Structure formats: C-alpha cells, structure tokens
Amino acid sequence: MSMKRIILEMGTGNDLYGEDYTKAARRAVHDALHHSSLTLFRSLGLNRDDMQVTVTIGVQKPEQVDAAAVAAEIPYGTVTVNVEMGGLNVVDEEAGTVSVIAAAGIAAFLELPDGQFTLPASTV
C-alpha cells in the first residue's frame, strides 16, 4: 500500500476591510472546497476519514494566520496546515486600507493498495 494524492484543489479568499489574514485564509479554503465533490468515497467504498489532507496557504503575513482555525474548516481526514509567503495585499492609499487576498491549495492523500484504482498503460 502507498499514499496517493487523490485530490488537488485551489481557492482564493479575501478580507477587504479588516486586514484579517486568518479570515482570508479560511475563505480561500471554503472556495477550494466548493470546487470539490468527494463522491469517490461512497462510489468506491472508501472511508473519507482515512484521508491525509495538506492545506497550503499563501499570504503576505504568514505569522498572522491561525493554522488551527484554518484546519477546522476541513471536514474530513487528518489535516496539516502550512502557511507560506504568498497571496496579495492590495493597498488603497486614498482610504488608507489594505485588502488581504489569500491563496489556498488543498491536497488529499489516501493509502491505496498498489495497482488498485489505476488505468492500464494503454488507456493513459
């Protein structure tokens, strides 16, 4: 058996007025999750709680993200959150505000028996 990446989703989120990096990160995770449908678990008889989920967040001030709050947004599996330099800060000089834009990448891994759920080489 080996761990295989079964899902990779991306999302963006923002906090336009509060300069809250955690809020922007959580919204980016919500966006990514709304692009995904995990019907494969039911279809293949797999347990979704067996997933290992890695969330990567990119923001301009990584130290201001509450990784535990971001992890709580993921409904299934064992979650790891990595916060890195990325995303955008958009400054409105006239209003004196900063809009925070976060990027999220969510990768889900599942241990699958070698050779199971693979296509023959001739169909790839």
The DSSP line for 10-57 is EEEEEESSS--HHHHHHHHHHHHHTT---HHHHHHT--GGG-EEEEEE
Is the model's pLDDT at 122 over the cut of 70?
no
Is the model's pLDDT at 124 over the cut of 60?
no
Query: What does the pLDDT average to over 19-34?
Result: 97
The class that CATH gives domain 2-114 is alpha beta
Residue 60 φ/ψ, nearest 5 degrees: -75, -25
* pLDDT tens digits along 35-75: 887 777 888 888 889 999 999 999 999 999 999 999 999 99
- Domain ranges in the chain are 2-114
pTM, full prediction: 0.88
Asked if 59 and 83 touch (Cβ cutoff 8 Å), the reply is yes
